[in-house]
Amino acid sequence: MTPAVDASPLSDLLAGARPEGWEALRAAAEARLAGQALPDTGMEDWKYLDLALLHGPAFRPAAPAVPTTASADIQPYIHPEMMATRQVFVNGFHAPHASCATGLPPGVRFFPISAASEACRLLGTLGEGAPDFFEDLNTARFTEGAVLLVPQNVRVEVPLHLLFLSRSAGDGTVPTMLPRLLVALDRGAELELVEEHHGEGTYLSCPVVEIRVAEGAILRHERIQRESTEAFHFSALKAEVARGGQYHSRTLSFGGRLSRQRPRIRLAEGAEATLDGLALLGGNQVADTHSFLHHAEPHGTSRQLHKCVVDGQARAIFNGQVRVAPGAQVTDAQQQSRNLLLSEKARVDTKPQLEIYADDVKCSHGAAVGQLDPDELFYLQSRGLDPEDARNLLTYGFAADLLARIPVASLRRSLRHLVLARTQAASLGDLA
């Protein structure tokens, strides 16, 4: 038997035998979890995110994917540009009957993590900083996931689509999904990766993604969180970008009752990173982003733009830390947090951070929280728009620049329609 987290409502997830493989990793995670309660607002990294909603429900491991899942179940989430590269996970388990890899070029390998003996040396070693509670939970108990390996100088022309579908149990318990992904690009490789999370009902999703971008390789990573508004989503992303490599990430958060994104990126000499984000929240949703960009070596470049549109009684949290290590000269790091409040009860807590230990750098950060500009509203109304359409148009415009950069046309259109629907701007549909 393995140690239980007696003080946590998630302790049942650690009951039973330890899954096979990665024994040392799992044991270390279990040791950190032993006796721990859930993080609380007394901890600096969790001071704005109250996890009280996790106390009470009965959490249990999710059941494996049902092989008979109908193609109609996934059809609404399939994009024609990525039909031949989609990989579907249902309740955290790979669904090969709904997946297709015929569009992957020779040499690119995608296989279950249970067959990933060659990747053991990478799993659990990427990224920096101490893992948090939910990352440790994944490490201790993940049973399913995948490994993607792109060989040297291979450019994957078609984006790879990773689609995660989750469903509630229907029996009063809360299923918990713990998928694990390892993505490794060899020297000079290039890939576009689209990672989507959708769901229905109440469940807990705790994915962990580990990424290695080798020298001169380029990875563009779209991350779309469209979980059920009754769900809980806590994700960890850990990436290492080698000399001259590029990692460009965009995270779009629309769903979840409580959600938290935790990306941690390490940049070597001359590496580049983009870490953009958009959260569109309403009702009583809470979305938290805690990011860490580490310029560990000289001549690195990073850009981060994080936007939040918050309505109703929703709350957005952003804590973005950029660290320039001693000796990381000629670093260029720019960070912006921009937030739009659409109601009197909406709230944003933002904390951009720079830690600079080198003297030859070009670094800046900034944060802004505000409402729609009355002058802009007046201008649009003076051109014939009624007040509601003027408000919706400005709200859409605030978010649209991040959507415009999405390279997959059908995905870009669907997300634009989602934003238009959320801003109730049906009369502005021609903008999509």
Measured in degrees and rounded to the nearest 5, phi and psi for residue 430 equal -70, -15
Flag whether pLDDT at 1 surpasses 50: no
Flag whether pLDDT at 118 surpasses 90: no
**Predicted confidence band of residue 150 (pLDDT cuts 50, 70, 90):** very high
Tokens of 177: 């999904």
Tokens of 384: 């014939």
**Predicted confidence band of residue 429 (pLDDT cuts 50, 70, 90):** very low
What's the full length of the chain, in residues? Answer: 432
Q: Are 193 and 225 a contacting pair, CB within 8 Å?
A: no
Helix (H, G, I), strand (E, B) or coil at 34: coil
Angle (CA) 76 82 88, round 5°: 60
Flag whether pLDDT at 215 surpasses 80: yes
Give me the pLDDT at residue 164, please.
Answer: 94
Alpha helices in 126-269 (DSSP H): 133-141
CA distance 421 to 427: 10
pLDDT single digits (tens) 327-352: 999 999 999 999 999 999 999 999 99
pLDDT single digits (tens) 390-413: 888 888 888 888 988 898 999 999
**Predicted confidence band of residue 119 (pLDDT cuts 50, 70, 90):** low
Domain boundaries, the chain: 11-268, 373-432
